[in-house]
Structure 1
Amino acid sequence: MPDIPSDQILTSQGADLSEGRAPLLLIACGALAHEVLALKRLNGWQHIELLCLPAILHNTPERITPAVTAAVEAQRSRYERIMVLYGDCGTGGLLQAECDRLGVEMLPGAHCYAFFDGVETFAACDEITAFYLTDFLARQFDAFVWKPLGLDRHPELLPMYFGHYESLVYLAQTEDPALTARAQEAADRLGLAFTRRFTGYGDLATALERTAK
């Protein structure tokens, strides 16, 4: 499966706009792109379109809310409904407040990866010393963790960034031994204990099935 460029906005066209507005647009974090597209194909949701904002926005959470606002305002006239596929993702409640102001739906949850574990399950685990990877982050560990934190140039910073973590929890969407090996390697590089939990698509699938009706 090819990696998605971090600076690219992706669209998945499916609905016919020739006779008015399309039924539903999903504005999603790019880290969810592979999974949302897989669910679209699996369920034949041709009436749903997808617009993904760059996943690298997670490294600057203060930019997520303005980016979502701009996308909603640019696309609103073309769709009957818009749903935002982000968790709070470090915005301190600002994203939910803005979605309420804009009158668009948003998935509940603290982070995008909580959707896979299931929001209630994720909260119940109470893994406050865990660092999480999904399939996407296992695949893109260097691009989204190692290099942005400067650890490729200054490995001595590792204790400052990860000294308070005890484990790396890999929430696996697929049964892929190669990705599991990459997640294990990431844990080893960070000096963390490794745990793998297979989640499948979790609450993301449930929410989209409900929304698609």
Structure 2
Amino acid sequence: MTTRTPDDHALTRTGLAPSGRGRVLLIACGALAREILDLKRLNGWDHLDLTCLPAILHNHPERITDAVRTAVARHRGAYDRLCVVYADCGTGGALQAACAELDVEMVPGPHCYAFFDGLARFEARDEVTAFYLTDFLARQFDAFVWVPLGLDRHPELRDLYFGNYERLVYLAQTDDPALTEKARASADRLGLTFERRFTGYGDLARAIEAWAV
């Protein structure tokens, strides 16, 4: 999913936006697109543009760093500032090192579950037996969990993958009863107890706000 990249003729190129602020491009995981667009709309951050890398890269974290490098190289000349809306996301520190080398900022933390929950709270809980869903993963559970793990074809593998988990924790960005039921159904399919935790946008909102000013 890509929204308003420099290939779109309507974009303002490097220079001041109508607000007097420089143009900022958010290079984000596609799993965060809806939340980022909501934050842009709610806060009137019209000087922020968004381009998203495929959300399925979460299943291949070894590819994330190179994809971000490519996006930075493609867009750097068109913006005053580039910001990467990924946490570490399984790259083992490689993404953070690349962002430091490229002189671009990124969201702190191990993954999106942590920054939605709030980094301090997430680390304090130390929930090693919890499997997490966000709004995106509640919607896309089959496409990003069930089918890639082969559970649609071999449901007997469920205990191999999830036998060490005890709970499915749904970190809800929105108050959506239909999504809550999807998440609850996913917990049932995995044989896990269910917990819903409303987080809103958490530290994601604070990170983007810092880049927007």
Classify the TM-score, shorter chain.
over 0.9
Whether 2:12 is the aligned partner of 1:12: answer no
The whole-number CA distance in structure 2 between the counterparts of 1:19 and 1:172 is 37
Taking structure 1 as the reference length, what is the TM-score of the superposition? 0.92
Q: Residue 211 of structure 1: CA displacement?
A: 1.1
Partner residue in 1 for 2:38 = 38
* 2:42 is the counterpart of 1:50: no
Q: Which amino acid aligns with 2:115?
A: F
Partner in structure 2 of residue 6 of structure 1:
none
1:101 maps to a residue whose letter is E
Amino acid at match of 1:124: A
Cα separation, 1, equivalents of 2:142 and 2:173: 19
Q: Partner letter of residue 12 of structure 2?
A: D
CA distance in 2 between counterparts of 1:90 and 1:19 reads 35
Aligned length: 205
Range that drifts further, 112-121 or 93-102: 112-121
Q: 2:160, 2:4 → 1: CA distance?
A: 40
Helix, strand or coil at the partner of 2:80: strand
Q: How many angstroms apart in 2 are the aligned matches of 1:68 and 1:19? A: 23
Aligned pairs (5 A) from 1:49-128: 49-128=49-128
Cα displacement (A) at 1:19: 5.9
1:53-78 Cα deviation digits (max 9, x unpaired): 01100001100000000000111111
- Aligned counterpart, 1:141: 141
1:114 Cα shift? 1.4
Residue identity matched to 1:119: L
SS, match of residue 23 in structure 2: strand
How many angstroms does 1:113 deviate by? Answer: 2.1
- 1:151 aligned partner: 151
Is the 1:26–1:82 Cα contact (8 Å) retained in structure 2? yes
**Contact conserved, 2:131 with 2:169, CA < 8 A, in 1?**
yes
| Structure 1 match to 2:195 | 195
- For the residues of structure 1 that align with 2:140 and 2:151, how far apart are their CA atoms? 15
Is the 8 Å Cα contact of residues 15 and 47 (structure 1) preserved in structure 2? no
d(CA) in 2 for partners of 1:18 and 1:149?
43
CA distance in structure 2 between the partners assigned to 1:54 and 1:121 by the alignment = 28
The Cα of 1:108 is off from its aligned counterpart by 0.5
The answer for unaligned runs of 5 or more in structure 2 is none
Q: Which residue of 1 aligns with 2:129?
A: 129
**Hey, what's the Cα distance between the residues in 1 that align with 2:177 and 2:136?**
14
Rounded Cα–Cα distance in structure 2 between residues aligned with 1:20 and 1:184: 46
The answer to whether the Cα contact below 8 Å between 2:14 and 2:79 also exists between their aligned partners in 1 is no
Unaligned residue ranges in structure 1 (runs of 5+) = 1-8
Paired residue type of 2:2: L
User: Quick one: distance in 1 between partners of 2:16 and 2:211?
Assistant: 20
Q: SS at the partner of 1:158?
A: helix
Q: Secondary structure at the match of 2:188?
A: helix
Deviation at 1:12, TM superposition (A): 3.1
